[in-house]
Amino acid sequence: MNQKIEKVVLGIASGPGMDAAITHAVAMAKAHQVDLAGLAIIDTSTLHDVGPVPVGGNYYAKQLRNTLTAGARRRVAETVEVVEEAATQAGVRFGLYVEEGDPIPILRDRLTDGVALVLSRQAWFDHGLADRKIAPTSKLKHHRITPASEPRDGDAPIVVFG
C-alpha cells in the first residue's frame, strides 16, 4: 500500500468479529497517528423489509419496524461504548457519526482518498436483527467495493482504502 492514511473509519456493527475490527482500527489509527472515526449505521433498508403484510397487518408491520430499529440503536450504543474505551486507552482521538439508511451509499460517501475503512468480516449494519444473515464481504463486492486484501482468518476485519 503506497497510499497515505489520513483517517481511519471504523464501521460500527454489532456482532461477531467486531472486537477484532475495533482492535485493528484502533491499532491502525495509532500507528498512523490519525483520528479514528466511528461510523455507526443502522441498515433501515434491511430492517424495515418485514416481508408481505396481510390485510389489516400494516399496524403490526410498523410496530415491528420500530422495534427492530430501536433494538439496533441499543446495540449500536453498546458497541460505541466499547470503541470509545478502546480508543481512549490507546490515546487515539475518536469521533462518531451515526447514520440510518442503506449502508452502501453511506460507506461510499465516507470512502474518500486517504481513508482506511475497517469493517467486521462477520457483522453487518442490521446489528444481527435481520431475518437473514448478511455476509459483509459478499455485500461489498456485489456493490464493487473491494477490500484491500482477503483476510485469512475468520475473525480478521475487512479493510478498504479510499
User: Residue 1 falls within a domain, yes or no?
Assistant: no
Domain CATH for 88: 3.40.50.12370
- Angstrom distance (rounded) from CA 28 to CA 25: 5
Summarised one tens digit per residue, pLDDT across range 22-49 is 999 999 999 999 999 999 999 999 999 8
| Predicted pLDDT at 149 | 72
Q: Report the number of distinct structural domains present in the chain.
A: 1
Domain extent, residue 93, equals: 7-161
**Position 29 in a domain:** yes
**Least confidently predicted of 41-45, 104-108, 140-144, 145-149:** 145-149
Quote the strand ranges of the chain, DSSP E.
7-12, 35-42, 94-100, 115-119, 158-161
**Which residue would you say has higher pLDDT here, 162 or 18?**
18
The terminus-to-terminus CA distance of the chain in angstroms comes to: 12
- Whole-model pTM? 0.90
pLDDT at 150: 67
Supply the mean pLDDT for the chain.
Answer: 92
Residue 153 clears pLDDT 70, i.e. is over it: no
Is residue 86 assigned to a domain? yes
HSE (side-chain half, CA atoms, 13 Å) at 52: 2
Domain presence at residue 2 = no
**Residues 91-132 pLDDT 10s:** 999 999 999 999 999 999 999 999 999 999 999 999 999 877
